[in-house]
Amino acid sequence: MKCAFCELPEIKERTIISLEHAFAFPTNIPIVPGHVLVCPKRCVATVEELKADEIVDVFDILFRMKKAMHKTFGAEGYNYAWNEGKLAGQSVPHFQMHILPRKEGDTGITQYEPREFLYRPGSREPSPERELKSIADLIRQNL
């Protein structure tokens, strides 16, 4: 199987919404009830591979899902995320925007601290301003 999102019939069966260039469906391993993935219909792995019309449809669905999740789950907040590359946790090589409706009393993962969730657990000192400016300069040179 090349891509589960493109080939598994159960993905098609649980599709919530489908536009010309994107679709959304509940993930099979949700963090909270209502955890949905939004994908382009064309199988690409990274955000920079998306065409403009695909980006428009992905975000159109995101906005529609936000309203529906508010009505359905009483969502008071949302997490949006995508992982790119195996080292970042991408297990299916098809771009996928995660949308998680969040509210008081969530039964799934309820703590969200980016440093614990993504990297460098525990508290640490802020980086010196000169270091941050140096990094900004280096990145600017490569734009």
Over the stretch 64-118, which tens digit does the pLDDT of each residue have?
Answer: 999 998 899 889 999 899 999 988 888 899 999 999 888 887 766 555 544 454 4
- Classify residue 101 as exposed, middle or buried by CB count within 10 Å of its CB (0-12, 13-18, 19+): buried
Q: What CATH number did the domain enclosing 112 receive?
A: 3.30.428.10
Tally of domains in the chain: 1
pTM for the whole structure:
0.79
Structural domain containing residue 80: 4-141
User: How do residues 11-55 score in pLDDT, each as one tens digit?
Assistant: 988 999 999 999 999 988 888 888 889 999 999 999 999 999 999
- The two beta strands, 97-102 and 77-81, are antiparallel
Share of the chain above pLDDT 70, in %: 80
